[in-house]
Amino acid sequence: MLMEIAGIIVVLMALRTLISQDRSERMLYLNAMSFGIAALIALYIGTSFGAIIAITYFVASTISSNAIAYSIGRVKNEIILDD
């Protein structure tokens, strides 16, 4: 039952990511998808090794989403000079 709920949440967040217009909203939905996928991994494997894999996936996806958010913030603050 928990796997189905987490799967539905992941699918809904994927659809919201495709539909949303704002980049910051997309980042929030991608982060929620990361939580859901990590939960699916932990629930599917169901052992201590599954927990380690889920934690590793969660940490790596959090680092990558933070890097993307940082680079988007840098691009917004960039000054473009036209000749």
Range list of H helices, 1-83: 2-19, 23-45, 48-77
Whole-number Å distance between alpha carbons of 7 and 68: 24
The pLDDT score that the predictor gives to residue 12 is 93
Residue 79 C-beta-side C-alpha neighbours within 13 Å: 2
- Can you give the C-alpha Rg of the chain in angstroms? 16
Assign 16 a pLDDT band (cuts: 50, 70, 90). Answer: very high
Contact 25, 13 (CB under 8 A): no
Identify the residue whose tokens are 């809904």: 12
Which is higher by pLDDT, 78 or 23? Answer: 23
Query: Is the pTM here over 0.75, yes or no?
Result: no
